[in-house]
Amino acid sequence: MWDFVALRNRMIKEQLEERGISNRAVIEAMRTVLREEFVPADLLGFAYEDGPLPLDEGQSITQPYMVAYMTEALELTPGDRVLEIGTGSGYGAAVLSRIATAVFTIERVAVLAGTARELLRDLGYTNVRVHVGDGSLGWPEHAPYDAIMVTACAPKIPKPLMEQLSVGGRMIIPVGPHPYTQTLVRVRRLKENKYSQENLKGVMFVPLVGAAGWPA
């Protein structure tokens, strides 16, 4: 069968370290979470390929490099509480959960959320909570969050997510006027009423569908 340890180590070296991912906690999280546990059974051999992989419902599992890049850009510290929008397979939430104290993740497609919730529970990711709903509105019950990772592209930065960031908090979100021309943006809440915004790089994500996202 596949030598996943070797494939994972090679992914870490060639796709992450050689492209500039240097945060040790991020590298360790990428080494600890077994991506093969999150990919569809018929795609196991592609678990460490350098790209996204298809999931049911026309969705996808984010590319390993992009998960690492976005996680590093969130500047997490161990006590952080993180909100993820777009659970998908649960892989991204699992990576975040190895660094943060608690991960709250929202998925609009109920079957994906259900599968990810069971999988994360069975694998022992006890600090991740999965919720079905419209993540463009955030998850106000558990706000504020030290970090928010959005893994689907929004037409503009959803206001509810800005409001659910703690002061000092960071958000990473793909934004595009069109779903196919997207920029990964980092937002920081500097003070109660002061935010900064940086463009990090061009990216390609599925659309964020919701009240503060794209229409269905």
The residue ranges that bind ligand SAH (CB under 6 A) are: 59-62, 85-86, 88-89, 91-92, 106-109, 112, 134-136, 151-152, 206, 208-210, 213
Least distance (Å) between residue 133 CB and ligand SAH: 7
Burial 83-100 (b: 16+ CB within 10 A, else e): bbbbbbbbbbbbbbbbbb
Least distance (Å) between residue 106 CB and ligand SAH: 5
Evaluate whether 173 touches 185 at the Cβ level (below 8 Å). yes
Closer to ligand SAH by Cβ: residue 58 or 79: 58
Least distance (Å) between residue 173 CB and ligand SAH: 12
Burial of 49 (0-12, 13-18, 19+ CB in 10 A): middle
Closer to ligand SAH by Cβ: residue 50 or 167: 50
Beta bridge partners of 187: 171, 197
Closer to ligand SAH by Cβ: residue 74 or 152: 152
Closer to ligand SAH by Cβ: residue 124 or 191: 124
Phi-psi region of 87 (alpha: psi -120 to 50; beta: other; left: phi over 0): alpha
Beta bridge partners of 209: 214
Least distance (Å) between residue 192 CB and ligand SAH: 26
Q: What does 113-134 look like in DSSP terms, one character per residue? A: HHHHHHHHHHTT-TTEEEEES-
Closer to ligand SAH by Cβ: residue 193 or 215: 215
Least distance (Å) between residue 214 CB and ligand SAH: 8
